[in-house]
Amino acid sequence: MSWIARQDASSVQTLPETTEEEARQAKQAVQQRQLELDRKIGKSGSADEVLELVTSFSHEFDLGHSTRCLAALVDHRETFTKELADSEAFTSLITLQGKLLREDNYDDFTAQIGYTAINVAQLREIAPSIDNLIPIMTETALKHTRSMSAGTLTELVKFHAIIHRRDEDFLAATASAAIPKMRFFSPRYLSNITWAYGTLGYSNGPLMKALASTTVRKMRLFDGQYLATVLASFAKLRNRNMPLLNAFSRFARNDIGRYGPTELSIFVWSYATLQHKDQELLDAVAKSAGWQLGLFSPRDLSMLVWSYASLADPNLELLEKVANITVEKIDSFQAPRLAKTIWAYAKLQVTNPTMLEAVTRKSVELIADFQAQELSLVLWACGVHSFYSERLFTVARDYVVDRVAEFDEGGLARVAWALGKFRLKDNQVLEVMADAAIAKMDDFTPKALAMMAGSYAKLGQTHRTLLFETFVERAVELGSDMEPGQVTAVALAASQAGIQLDALVHQIVDRTVNAGSLTLLTKFGLRKLLLLYEELPPGTFPQEFKATLREELDSRMRKRRN
């Protein structure tokens, strides 16, 4: 009996040791099998072989295996055909990946979500069905943002930007998770995640502040491309972070020669978009760009001059060099680049006849490629330069007639202004533009309204009563948004069309004399007001109005003589 008890006790003591050994061996066998499956996936030579492995072994796959199969398909994209994308094997792989993502029992789970996003982004064009994983990834990621690494957070936000999927809950969660991890973000991660938020138009105050301050602290580790990406993203979001802009300016000016054409053009484009004029940086970029303009692409050149024009910095030496390079490279320019370039020179009132000839000639060749607003910029710029190209305006005429609905209010106003500048009275063009303007009148800004009203009056179109009545109605609606000169221009044009101006006259008096805003008017604007006073019947304006205008004009003349 005692022997039996001892035997039982001995058995009880040795069983755990045997069980642990068996468990260890079983675990080792599983690991070896997993490694074997990894090797099989890694050795696959085509997309077809990858999917054969899925068919044979998917019942053994964990999340790592299914993710690596997707990565292998990315590696073998040249053999991943439409037929394979529609196959049962691929469908089962996507189904399995979604199931494993939802199960959430893999050691490196959050990283696998990031890897899945990378693979989906590269396969979705070939295999649209893979988009079924997107809501699963987003849903799963929302539960784990706090535990994600800086790299995984970056990849997931970047993925959403690439596919243009704006999920407010996801963006808020990733922003909240990223802020306390900022010290772990490398320059590449900072650049990519800032680009992603910028692309998605997501501007979270604390997040942007954290991204900016981290970029400033680590700026010496950034290369030019990463810096350009961060700056451009803040510009897209219209986030004028002054500590970032000031720190970057100091940093970049110290070694401006290290940056290439694309980086330099993006730097000044960002500052221009944010309307922050840093003269020292502009001068440094202009000097560096001048040494390497031959390397600038049409895109770089047009961005460069657009930026200087937007910041009202007429760097004549730079503009002359850019004009010469533009002529040399004109055959490489596309329509958007032509529009930006000629607009910039017009904005700065810098005329280069050789460049204008080249740009207008190329614009004729590419007329069908222009967006409506781009063409309006080209025509407007020709007017500013007093450079008339009969070929350009001839092809532009047909474009406007056929595609007038594509012009916004600013585009219509610019085309009308250019026609007025060159006294081009084409009844069909003016008719379709008038109809389009009436239809879009609710969108007209004060500037576009004044420009178009004045242009149509200048072209003798005052018989278009409905158009001018609509101009006046819109000016009254805009009220205090109209500057004194703008409301005067509309009133003067409408008076020539015989339109009732009582409401507009009251607005003019209120915006000038009563508001003390006569000083905002140019001398030309004052003269237009006086002309309007003479045009309208006696008693339309208050009796003292003319005397007030004359006194202001005389005062300016005396100051000028002194």
Give the pLDDT score at 527. Answer: 74
For the chain, percent of residues with pLDDT exceeding 70:
91
Average pLDDT of the chain is 90
- Lowest mean pLDDT of 28-42, 63-77, 149-163, 233-247, name the range: 28-42
Cα torsion through 252, 254, 256, 259, rounded to 10: -60
Q: What is d(CA 418, CA 45) in angstroms, rounded to the nearest whole number?
A: 62
Does the pTM exceed 0.75?
yes
- 202-232: pLDDT as tens digits: 999 999 999 999 999 999 999 999 999 999 9
pLDDT band per the 50, 70, 90 thresholds, residue 518: low
At 70 the pLDDT is: 95
pLDDT at 206: 96
pLDDT, one tens digit per residue, over 401-412 is 999 999 999 999
pLDDT value of position 262? 97
Mean pLDDT of 279-283: 97
pLDDT at 542 over 80: no
Q: What is the pLDDT of residues 195-206, one digit of tens each?
A: 999 999 999 999
CB 494 within 8 A of CB 535: no
**What does DSSP assign to residue 137?**
H
Residue 11: per-residue pLDDT: 44
Please enumerate in sequence order all residues whose Cβ is within 8 A of that of 26, keeping only pairs 6 or more positions apart, or say none.
Answer: none
Name the phi and psi angles at 376, rounded to 5.
-60, -35
DSSP assignment letter at 87: S
- Better-predicted residue by pLDDT, 511 or 92: 92
pLDDT > 90 fraction of the chain, expressed in percent and rounded: 72
Give per-residue pLDDT as tens, 108-151.
788 889 999 999 999 999 999 999 999 999 999 998 899 999 99
Range 475-497 average pLDDT:
87
User: Which of 154-163, 376-385, 496-505 has the least mean pLDDT?
Assistant: 496-505
Torsion of CA 282, 286, 292, 293, to 10 degrees: 110
75-113 confidence digits (pLDDT tens): 999 999 999 999 999 999 999 999 999 887 667 788 889
Give the pLDDT of residue 15: 45
Assign 282 a pLDDT band (cuts: 50, 70, 90). very high
Q: Which residue shows structure tokens 């039996």? A: 4
Burial of 349 (0-12, 13-18, 19+ CB in 10 A): exposed
Query: How far does the chain reach from its first CA to its final CA, in angstroms?
Result: 131
Please write the tens of the pLDDT for every residue from 456-473. Answer: 999 999 999 999 999 999
Q: Is 205 helix (H, G, I), strand (E, B) or coil?
A: helix
User: What's the confidence (pLDDT) of residue 263?
Assistant: 97
Rounded to whole angstroms, how far apart are CA atoms 118 and 128? Answer: 15
Once rounded to an integer, what is the mean pLDDT over residues 389-414? 97
Q: How far apart are CA 487 and CA 520, in angstroms?
A: 13
pLDDT surpassing 90 at residue 529: no
List pLDDT tens digits, range 285-319. Answer: 999 999 999 999 999 999 999 999 999 999 999 99
pLDDT beyond 60 at 4? no
* Rounded CA separation 224/226 (Å): 6
Residue where the block lists tokens 């590269």: 122
Tokens of 464: 């278009």
Task: Using pLDDT thresholds of 50, 70 and 90, give the confidence band for residue 348.
Answer: very high
**Cβ-based burial of 514 (10 A; exposed 0-12, middle 13-18, buried ≥19):** exposed
The yes-or-no verdict on residue 53 having pLDDT over 60 is yes
Mention every residue, 6+ apart, whose C-beta is less than 8 A from residue 180.
Answer: none
> pLDDT band at 37, cuts 50/70/90?
confident
Element (H, E) at 297: none
| Predicted confidence band of residue 532 (pLDDT cuts 50, 70, 90) | confident
Element (H, E) at 73: helix 63-75
CA atoms within 13 A on the CB side of 456: 35
